[in-house]
Every structure is written in structure tokens, then in C-alpha cells.
Structure 1
Amino acid sequence: MKNRAILFLTAIAAFFIISFTITGNKDTLPVADKNNGGLFLPGHFRAVVVVDSLAGRARHLAVNDNGDVYVKLRFPDSIGGNVALRDTNHDGKADIIQKFANYEDKGSYGTAMRIHKGYLYFSSEINVYRVKLNPNSLVPDGKLELIVHDSHGEHEHDAKPLAFDNKGHIYVAFGAPSNACQEQNRVPGSMGIEGCPLLKENGGIWRFDEDKPNQLQADGMRYATGLRSIVAMDWNTAENCLYVVAHGRDDLRLQFPKLFTPWESAVSPAEEFLKIKEGTDAGWPYYYYDPIKKKKLLNPEYGGDGKKVGDGAKYAQPIMAFPAHWAPNDLLFYTGNQFPARYKNGAFIAFHGSTNRSPYPQAGFFICFVPFKGGKPAGPWEIFADGFAGHTTIVSVSDAIYRPMGVSQGPDGSLYVSETEKGKVWRIFYQGDKTKFTTAQLAKMELRKKLPSFKTPDVMRNNLMSGMLTGGAKLYATYCTNCHQKNCKGDGNLFPPLAGSEWVTGGKYMEKETAIRVLLNGLEGPVKVKNVPYNSVMPKHNFLTDDQIAQVLTYIRNNFGNNSSLVTALEVKKVRASLKVK
């Protein structure tokens, strides 16, 4: 009997030793990096870099109960579309990095990574998968299950974020492949289709059975509508309700230059923080929220002019409106106890940063915090973590060193952050006396709101191109910079670079003809540029004259490191005639 007791106690001791080896001591914080990994944080918050860079970069992430980190890769390869990270010596830094999950439709825009009831759920652009986690293995070794399939194929705004209500349901967003349900997507002046047919299967959130495999969209229930593009979505357990931070529409100036100034297009429409209940209609494609006027206005595709209110008040209104084009790409309601009490049940939002505020500075690129009480914000939004971009003024989005993407809560209550440009991951934790935290610790972060990447730009003073451009350069700034950026390097995600692009360079007539055709006819992805996949829409620019197209192509082909022959108006005229384009 005595020997059995000894064996039993030995087994228990061994179990705890193994458990400690895998999980580490959750009450012991790592030593923070000297400069917090380049981040600006309030008060006694500190950070450590979990991994400096990942091959394939990163999108969203999830942290398991034992501290293992799972990251959705931005550019998957034949080895896998996800990566698993483990810290075995408890210094806060991953020392085991393993790729896994070699599914076929990996794509660069698939996004979600969530752990729910022992399963790792993640998505591509067209599929939602899950795999059972094994507590004895870093890399999941279970069968990969297809939970939801989108039969429409890849298209813009198709990120597939996920949320769970703890009643057996999974919520999946289906983005709309359009700016505002126009007759011709992104063609300047094209009007919106009445009774938008896209809303039947796009532009909303569908609810499915979280355990049922091989579901199609028809197997789910449309839970909410009028939401063009959602990447940030989470279930608030304190309120037992779904919340999203939705991307606003783009290109007010480019689509309707007679109605909107460059400044109006840069500061509107808002990114909307919305409480979503069954049946919610947020108003897309008919309405957008103006953060300056603080009301929903009629979209120009449906007769709006930047002033008409129409029936905007009938649609769901945001509980908070953020500045335009900041790109909210993840949402997390914090339930941990590692942070001071004021952060409990509040919302962390990862803003990926803008691409289309030109000719004004790009903005965002930070982790935001919104205090919550009673299901709604209890105060203004706060800068929680900043410094990702590496510069105070971002002219082109590719100037940003890092762009925040995902946020996840660790088992001890630490906050993990992923970014897309290098595949860097940070762990943020509080290292002071939580009972002595005061809002005075937020003062320095509040001052950062005066920086160009946060403040509302002045119409004249902050116009980066005022008085500088003529000819092809002016045309490029007017029609191209919002997508391809001022430095012609694209945004690294949806819009490809023109600098060094095989689509625009080359001296032979046939090579020039390719670029002319794209401008006249537009182009819809997926395509590859410099061997990198992109999937977006290049609108037709056939409204430009032959001379204007020649000027802008000549400018692009002889700047940004390009060195190619000029394009003539006669060459454009010849291609236009062959395409029968007016």
C-alpha cells in the first residue's frame, strides 16, 4: 500500500513538472525588452518581442491555455499556412517555430485565428477550418475539418473573420466585392444598383453550427447585413453580444471628383464600431457614416452629395466612429486580470493603417483601447500601443515598418500583437502595482494624438503635394496614389507595386500595350506582380484622354526606379481603337 502511495505521489509530481515545463509559471513575467520592442506604451506597461520575424509574415493569432501561440501566415507556402510558436525557457521569446496546415486555398487575405473549446479555428478567403488541439503536441496532429465553404471564390473584402457565442454557433462575415454596389465596380461615376443584389449573399454576417462540417452559406442564417467589409469581429461575453469594427467605403474623390475634395475623401467615411444583434442593418451600400458631421449620409452612387441625409437615421448607428481608412483589422474584448481593472471587459482594436488618404499623411498603425461599461464605450478611444510605423509622418503605406494586424489574450492576461510586414509578434504586460494605476499614466499617450498619423489633417498645411505636381505626376497623384501609393510600391496587400512591375515596364510596343490596356479596360484579380499574388480591382480609366494616359504612363515608366521608353498619345489611340473603347 505504501509503495502504491509513493508511486501515485511520484506520478503527480511528474505531471506538475511536465505541466510547468510546457506552460511555464503564469505568474512570472518575462524581462521586458529594453525599448519595449520599439513600442510606446502607457505607464508601467512593458513588452517583449516573442518573434522578430516570420517567413510568410503574419495576419491574426491565437494563444492557447499553455502559452503556445498560433499565427495565420500572410503568405503561406507548400509547408503550411499557419505557424506554431513555443517558449520553452520562459523568457517570453519563442524558441520553437513550426509551420503546419498545408491546405490548398491559403491566399494572402485569409485571416481568422481563434481557439474555441479545444479547437483551433482559422480561415482562408473562401473556407473556415478547424483542427483539434493536442495538449501533448505543439503542432495540431488531428484531422483538418472544413466547417464552412464559400462557393463564390476569392474576391476583395473576403477576410472571413470568426466569432463564437458559446451556444454552439460560429459567426462568419462575408465581405462584398464592391465599393458601393455600382453597376461597374470602381468605375468613376458608375451609379449604384437599386435593391443591391450583392446583399443576398455578401455584405453581412452569417451564423452557422460550429461543429457541423462542410456547411455552405445556404446552411447558415444571415444574422446581419449592410456591412461592406469586416475584419475586426468579437463576441463580448460580458454583454452576450456580437460587435464589429467595420471598414468604411473608399474613393469618394476618385469616383465623384465633382462632389468631393481630396480632403473630404481623406477624412471620410468613418470606420464604424457597431453592436450587432440579429437583424441589424448598417446601411451599406446606400449610406456611410461621416465622422465630421456625425451622421449617416447618402452615398453618391445613390444620389448623395456629401450633404444629403436621406433615411440614414433608420440604419444602425455606430457606438463610436473612428477616423477614415484606419483599417480596423482585429477586435478583442479583454477578460483577463493581468492589466489594471479599468481594462477589464474593454475593447482592444488593431488598426492596420490607411492606404488611401493621399495627398494627406496616411494614418492609424496602432493598437487602440476603448473602455466599456453597460455595452457601450465609457470614454473616448485611447492610444494603447504605438510606434509600429516607425515614423510620425507616413506618406506611402510602404513607409510603415510594421502594421498591426491581430490581437489575442494570453493565459496570464498578457496581450499578444501580430503585424503583417515582417511577421513580428509582441507580448504586452503590466509590470507595476495595478491598484495604483491612474489615468495620469495615459497622459503621454494622449499627446500622441497630435501627431500626423492621428490628427485630422489641415486642408492646406498638411497637403503633401500642394503646388508640387504637373503633367503626368499630377495625374498619378490624382488617380493612382490612393492604391499604388506615392512611392509606387503599392500597399503590400491588395494593391501591387508599379515600381519594377512587369506590367508597366519594358520598351517593346507589346509591353507598353499591356499597361495601356489595363488603364483603358481596368483589371480584376487575382494576378501576380513580381511573383506576389494580389486580388483586387483596378478600375477603368478610359475617361482619361489619350494624351493624359500617355503622360501618366510615361511618368510611371520613368520614375520610382523604372527606366523605360515613353508612351505616346498615338499608341494609346491605337490600343483604344482596337478595344473599341470610347
Structure 2
Amino acid sequence: MKKNNFLGARKTVTVLLATAIAAITLAFVLVKHPDKTLTADKNNGGLYLPGNFKAVIAIDSLAGRARHLAVNTNGDIYVKLRFPDSTGGNIAARDTDHDGKADTIKKFGNYDDKGPYGTSMRVHKGYLYFSSEVNVYRTKLNPNTLVPDGPLELILHDAHGEHEHDAKPLAFDNAGHMYVAFGAPSNACQEQNRVPGSPGIKGCPLLQEYGGIWQFDEAKPNQQQKDGVRYATGLRSVVAMDWNTADNCLYVVAHGRDDLRLLFPKKFSAWQSAVMPAEEFLKIKQGTDVGWPYYYYDPIQHKKLLNPEYGGDGIKAGDGAKYAQPLIAFQAHWAPNDLLFYTGNQFPARYKNGAFVAFHGSTNRSPYPQAGFFVAFVPFKNGVPTGRWEIFADGFAGRNTVVSVSDALCRPMGLSTGPDGSLYVSDTELGRVWRIFYQGDKTKFTSAMLAKMELRKKLPNFKIPDKARNNFATGMLKGGAKIYTTHCVSCHQKDGKGDGNLFPPLGGSEWVTGGKYMEKEPAIRVLLSGLEGPVTVKGKPYNSVMPKHNFLSDAEIAGVLTYIRSNFGNNSSLVTASEVKKIRATLPGK
């Protein structure tokens, strides 16, 4: 018996040893197998990069497009889809032949809440974390399987439901905490959201549950906002957020407020509304107050000014100096949608622990050129930028002048570092993912290699527009076109195509043309009463706020609707002032 037990034990040890060797071998293949010498795509896949940086398109033409992404320690790529469907909201991709391009792509993540605005995807301690508009999930990663085979855990649920600015960006510290931003469903905490001239509410009640960052347990399931700690406040909308391990602190690049001219046309010009306020790069400590909704940062005057909802006029500073000031004030409306501190070793030493920022590109700088659409780099040391921001990757838009956001070929969204130190960038328009890497002797990288990228700052996508020369609306301001340019173009764009994310297109929209019955009433009612919450336009979901325009006269509403229904590919009948008057009379309070 003892001999048999000994033989059985030895056999068991042999099997276990063989299994361990196989696992180590597989792990070596998946994790340690060096990539081939990567060959850059022609013209770096359309990107302009400094020095000896190169790029390949690792993934192209995802059917659901892409928002954020994360790269695992074995090189597998996970992408949060912009337009999920019933088969899944995420993509898993693997490069099996190590040429820099994914050759295996699978969809997964069939969870219930898959709106178009859900954001963030991070790999943390062996888990894939990702968020929708109202939930944060995680699932255990297994390097032996491409698609995560662990259970889907609900870590955080936002009981408020979907609303404006409800992205759920994620960051993790080194002490077991998860940080989540809760955007505010308002422009500046007005009594009537986005209604021209509406004053702001003093002692803004939204700040109790919105407009800030909350700290949670990174592993505890089924948390709600009440289970977390409000870590920072005064932040209207944050999508770009990361933890800097070099100084053990949280950082964000916050979206500034919108619509200065639209809401206060007597105080602000179209040019002022296009170039203000700044997108603020901020260091966030517990208790930080950035000043929203009372203040915004003026990148021209280099200081915080009082918002017009609270008596500001573009000059009054009030107590703005008391609030957290930005490390860098980026130009207005560039839409910072991801932030990544680079901890890899592949790039030249100057990039170590510096910050990459993905600017998705503006939608509301009309009637001036839209701007942004690039990845910036900010050199860092000891929690402080050591130089000016730089253009690291450009060319995503495919053109130097973007009149309407729909003109942009691609728009950078998410950032992630691969196990070899490559930088991955996702795009929301073509469903594309670039892998940017460095070739050559990185010790010989010099500042001279940045000169060509610095010259790009003179292009329309980056420079501050000239008030007269760069105004696209010149010669277009008559009748309904004038009303459209004044009240509609900042969201729906000059070409009526919207931004494809928050603001829907007007061309072919059933809300504009009345669908197959060609009814005018829906469009008239939307202008008179506004619209808020999830809607479907041309088969795609949107969730934003269309403010009331009942301050316009019957003739003005008829004129702008006639203009819209006769342009952007629409060919619907005109709208008369009497039709508007008739529907206005049916509204509450009339």
C-alpha cells in the first residue's frame, strides 16, 4: 500500500510539474514572446509623429467604433465600443503573429446598459474594469483566454440614471481605492438648464451628488454613490483622469463650460464663446474645489472669472483666485477625453512619467474652425510640468481645417500603454486603434526632433482664430440661416451632421422631417418645449439636452425650421408662423 501511495504521489507530482512547465511555456509565449521588428504603416497610418516615432494601425474599422481601451500585460487589447449591440459592448483583440496588428477580434460583454456615452476601460490588478453611463463593472482576466471568462461583477451603480455628462472615468491609487467622476447634468447650475439668460442657483444643490470625484473601494461589489467619499468638487465634466504613480496623486483634464454667447449674447461674442473657457489640467487632492458652477478659467486673461449665470461679464474675477488653478490651460472646447501618465520604458527618457492627453476635438467653436483632434504630451517632474505642452500625434482629422466636426476623419479618444511600452490610441469615428512605438537609438532623441511638431501649432486646428478672417458665418446670416447660426450650429454643426455622439444629425432625421408621414409638429414641439433624455435618431441612441427655444417668435421658429427642412439633404415642406402659433397655443401655460 505504501509503495502504491508513493507511486501515486510521484505520478501526481509529475503531472503537476508538467502542467506547471506547460503553463510557464504558454505564459512565455503570451507575455514574453518579443514582437517582430515592427514595420510602420505607410505615413504612420496617417499620423504625424516626432523624431523616430512610428505607428501601425493595430485594429481598423470596428463595426461599433470605439471609445476607451486597455491593453493587458500579455498584449491583448480591450476596447469599449461606442455603439454596442445585443451581442456585446466590448471588443477583445489579439496579435498572434506579433506583427503589431490584431488578427483575432471577438466581441463580448452583453450587459444591459450599453449607451453611447459610457466610457473608461482600465486593466488593474488582473481585472478589466469598464464603465457604462451608470455602472462600473469588472471581470477577471485570464492570459490563457482572449475573452475574459470570469464573472461580470457590478462594482458601482449610479442610481440617478442617464443624464448629461454622465461619463464614468476611472482611476486607481496604490491603496485599494477607485476614483470615479460624476458629471453635472447642467451647464452652470441654472434655474432652467441651457435657457438663455436663466440665472444660476446660489449654493448649487447639484454639488451634493454631481460635479465632482468620489472615492470608492476598488473591489467591493454593488456600491452606490452614498458608499463613497466625495474626494473633490467643482468639476462640471471630467472624462480624462489618471493616477500619477510618480507623485502618488490624482490628475484630471476637465472640460470647460459651453455656450457663453448662446446663453448670454449681450455679454459675449461668438469669438469669445469659441475661445473660452479653457480645458483645465489639474492636480487633484482630497478636498480640492475647482470652482464650478461659479467660475471658469479664461485662457486669454490667464485667470478664473465669474460665470455670467452668477453676474459675470467676461471681466469680473470675483473670488476666482481662491479656487484650484490649472497646471496648464488648454484651448477651449478641445474635449480632453483621456489622460495617461507614461510609465513604459520604450520611449526616450524625457517621456517617462510625463502625461499624454487625447483631445477628441471640439464641436462648439462655430462659426470658427473646430479645433483639437490630436494627442498632446506634457513633460512632468515631481508633479509639475517641466515645459510647454507638445503635439505628440496629429493627423487624426485628415485635414488641417475642420469646419464641422463631421468633417474629421478620425477623433482620438482613449489611451493605453502596452507591455513593451508602445502607446495605443483609439478613435471614435472609424473604429481604429493605432500602436505608436519608437525605433532607433532613444538616447539620441533631441529637442530638435520636436521642431516640426511645434510648427503644426500654427495650423487652424490649434491656433486661436482671427475674429473676422476665420468667421465661416460671414455672408450666411439671413433669415432662417441666421437663426440657425445663432442658436443651433454650436451643437448640430454648420453641416447639420451633429457630432455623432451627444448631438444628433439633422439631415434625414425623423425628428426634423416628420418620418414617413412628413409631420411638422414634432420638430415644432421640440423647438418650443425642448427635449431631454435618451432618444433614437436614424437608428442610433443619443442622450443630451435640447433647450427650449420658445423665446423665439413664431416667425423665427418657422424660418429656422424651414431652413433646416430644406437643407442638409432634407427636402420637406416649409413651416409657417401660423402653424407654430397653433401648436404654441396647446402648450402648458398658454
Task: State the TM-score bracket (shorter-chain normalisation).
Answer: over 0.9
Matched, 1:410 2:418: yes
Matched, 1:470 2:464: no
The partner residue of 1:287 within 271, 295, 298 is: 295
Matched, 1:437 2:442: no
Answer whether contact 2:47 2:393 (CA < 8 A) is retained: yes
Determine the structure 2 residue equivalent to 1:317.
325
Determine the structure 2 residue equivalent to 1:101.
109
* CA–CA distance in structure 1, aligned partners of residues 516 and 92 of structure 2: 47
SS in 1 for 2:84: coil
Determine the structure 1 residue equivalent to 2:265.
257
Answer whether contact 2:518 2:572 (CA < 8 A) is retained: no
* CA–CA distance in structure 2, aligned partners of residues 135 and 226 of structure 1: 40
Q: Which letter does structure 2 place at the counterpart of 1:188? A: P
The partner residue of 1:83 within 91, 114, 117 is: 91
Which range is displaced more, 243-252 or 74-83? 74-83
The partner residue of 1:176 within 179, 184, 192 is: 184
Answer whether contact 1:326 1:354 (CA < 8 A) is retained: yes
Q: Relative to structure 1, is the Cα distance of residues 432 and 99 closer, same or farther in structure 2, using a 3 angstrom cutoff?
A: same
Determine the structure 2 residue equivalent to 1:350.
358
1:539-568 CA-to-partner distances (Å, cap 9, x unmatched) read 111111111111110000011110011001
SS in 2 for 1:525: strand
SS in 1 for 2:180: strand
1:331 to partner: Cα distance: 0.2
* CA–CA distance in structure 2, aligned partners of residues 99 and 516 of structure 1: 41
Matched, 1:560 2:558: no
Q: Quick one: percent identity of the two aligned structures? A: 78
Q: Which letter does structure 1 place at the counterpart of 2:43? A: N
* CA–CA distance in structure 2, aligned partners of residues 231 and 69 of structure 1: 20
Q: Relative to structure 1, is the Cα distance of residues 276 and 29 closer, same or farther in structure 2, using a 3 angstrom cutoff?
A: farther
Matched, 1:331 2:336: no
1:360-385 CA-to-partner distances (Å, cap 9, x unmatched) read 00000000000011211111110000
- Structure 2: segments with no counterpart, 5+ residues: 1-6
The partner residue of 1:139 within 147, 151, 155 is: 147
The partner residue of 2:219 within 195, 211, 214 is: 211
SS in 2 for 1:235: strand
SS in 1 for 2:110: coil
1:37 to partner: Cα distance: 0.7
* CA–CA distance in structure 1, aligned partners of residues 194 and 311 of structure 2: 16
* CA–CA distance in structure 2, aligned partners of residues 62 and 29 of structure 1: 23
* CA–CA distance in structure 1, aligned partners of residues 354 and 376 of structure 2: 11
* CA–CA distance in structure 1, aligned partners of residues 584 and 573 of structure 2: 19
The partner residue of 1:233 within 238, 241, 246 is: 241
* CA–CA distance in structure 2, aligned partners of residues 126 and 60 of structure 1: 16
1:22 to partner: Cα distance: 2.3
Answer whether contact 1:281 1:316 (CA < 8 A) is retained: yes
Q: Report the TM-score, using the length of structure 1 for normalisation.
A: 0.97
Determine the structure 2 residue equivalent to 1:423.
431
SS in 2 for 1:35: helix
Determine the structure 1 residue equivalent to 2:536.
528
Determine the structure 1 residue equivalent to 2:31.
23
Q: Relative to structure 1, is the Cα distance of residues 8 and 534 closer, same or farther in structure 2, using a 3 angstrom cutoff?
A: closer
1:411-431 CA-to-partner distances (Å, cap 9, x unmatched) read 010000001011100000000
* CA–CA distance in structure 2, aligned partners of residues 510 and 496 of structure 1: 19
1:120-163 CA-to-partner distances (Å, cap 9, x unmatched) read 10000100100111121111111111111100000010100000
Answer whether contact 1:229 1:246 (CA < 8 A) is retained: yes
SS in 2 for 1:503: helix
Answer whether contact 1:24 1:90 (CA < 8 A) is retained: no
Answer whether contact 2:169 2:240 (CA < 8 A) is retained: yes
Matches within 5 A, 1:103-182: 103-182=111-190
Q: Which letter does structure 2 place at the counterpart of 1:180? A: A
Determine the structure 1 residue equivalent to 2:305.
297
1:18 to partner: Cα distance: 2.6
Answer whether contact 1:542 1:581 (CA < 8 A) is retained: no
* CA–CA distance in structure 1, aligned partners of residues 298 and 384 of structure 2: 20
Which range is displaced more, 435-444 or 460-469? 460-469
* CA–CA distance in structure 1, aligned partners of residues 12 and 128 of structure 2: 39
1:42-81 CA-to-partner distances (Å, cap 9, x unmatched) read 0100001111111111100000010001111111111111
Determine the structure 2 residue equivalent to 1:196.
204
SS in 2 for 1:187: coil
Answer whether contact 1:546 1:572 (CA < 8 A) is retained: yes
Determine the structure 1 residue equivalent to 2:4.
none
* CA–CA distance in structure 2, aligned partners of residues 10 and 540 of structure 1: 70
* CA–CA distance in structure 2, aligned partners of residues 474 and 497 of structure 1: 19
Q: Relative to structure 1, is the Cα distance of residues 507 and 44 closer, same or farther in structure 2, using a 3 angstrom cutoff?
A: closer
1:287 to partner: Cα distance: 0.2
Q: Which letter does structure 1 place at the counterpart of 2:336? A: P
Q: Report the TM-score, using the length of structure 2 for normalisation.
A: 0.96
1:11 to partner: Cα distance: 7.0
Q: Which letter does structure 2 place at the counterpart of 1:31? A: T
* CA–CA distance in structure 1, aligned partners of residues 184 and 452 of structure 2: 39
1:467 to partner: Cα distance: 2.5
- Structure 1: segments with no counterpart, 5+ residues: none
Answer whether contact 2:333 2:365 (CA < 8 A) is retained: yes
Answer whether contact 1:122 1:128 (CA < 8 A) is retained: yes
Size of the alignment, in residue pairs?
Answer: 582
* CA–CA distance in structure 1, aligned partners of residues 153 and 261 of structure 2: 44
Determine the structure 2 residue equivalent to 1:516.
524
The partner residue of 2:73 within 61, 65, 71 is: 65
1:4 to partner: Cα distance: 12
Determine the structure 1 residue equivalent to 2:396.
388
Which range is displaced more, 8-17 or 218-227? 8-17
1:465 to partner: Cα distance: 1.4
Q: Which letter does structure 2 place at the counterpart of 1:232? A: A
Task: Kindly report the root-mean-square deviation, in angstroms, between the aligned alpha carbons of the 2 structures.
Answer: 2.0
* CA–CA distance in structure 2, aligned partners of residues 129 and 4 of structure 1: 39
Answer whether contact 2:532 2:544 (CA < 8 A) is retained: yes
Q: Which letter does structure 2 place at the counterpart of 1:472? A: G
Q: Relative to structure 1, is the Cα distance of residues 439 and 545 closer, same or farther in structure 2, using a 3 angstrom cutoff?
A: same
1:578 to partner: Cα distance: 1.4
